[in-house]
Amino acid sequence: MKNLFLLSFIMFTTSVFGQTKEIEPTSIVKPEMENEVIDDSVFVGLEAFNDESDAVIYIYRTSSMAGAAAKWGVMVDDVLMANLKQKEYIAVHVNANDEFHYFSSPHGIFKFVNFKPNRYYYIKLKGFTMFTGYFNAETLSEFEMCKPTKPLR
């Protein structure tokens, strides 16, 4: 009877955990911000683009009481990019011509779409919330309080 119960438990758990759920795509930029005009002075000092299809995502973590002592692993397209402490950032280059890019952190796994070539984006991690969009003056003021972290790749 024990063996039958154990076998049933194993079959049930593997079928539950073996299921894959399709992640719904989310736009990296809110539709109302799609045509936002950004002052070019914001981009001075940011990483240069590698080529015509390159987009740069600045992933940064602001200070918050939530998870203060822990480093948060951030992945882009299944590659661990960094373990961010509070007030740290990393710049990640992606191909904007790809249909989508995956991002994962303690907030979950996200499938971002609508990247444009030669644009700067941000992913801001604050406590248990996450914000995304075009890199702009507001982003820059928060971003300047952070320091770069060492990439793991």
Per-residue pLDDT of 119-138, as tens digits, reads: 999 999 988 888 999 998 88
Residue-wise pLDDT for 32-85, tens only, equals 676 677 777 888 889 999 999 999 999 999 887 766 778 889 999 999 999 999
Widest Cα–Cα separation across the chain: 72
**Residue 17: phi, psi to the nearest 5?**
-80, -20
Q: Where are the domains of the chain?
A: 22-148
Kindly state the average pLDDT of the residues 9-36.
Answer: 61
Contacts of 98 (CB under 8 A, 6+ apart): 115
Please say whether the structural domain 22-148 has been given the CATH code 2.60.40.
Answer: yes
Residue that wins the pLDDT comparison between 85 and 9: 85
More confident residue, 43 or 30: 43
pLDDT at 7 over 80: no
CA atoms within a 13 Å half-sphere pointing along the CA-CB vector of 36 = 18
Residue 3 pLDDT grade (very low, low, confident, very high; cuts 50, 70, 90): low
| Distance in angstroms (rounded) separating the CA atoms of residues 84 and 65 | 15
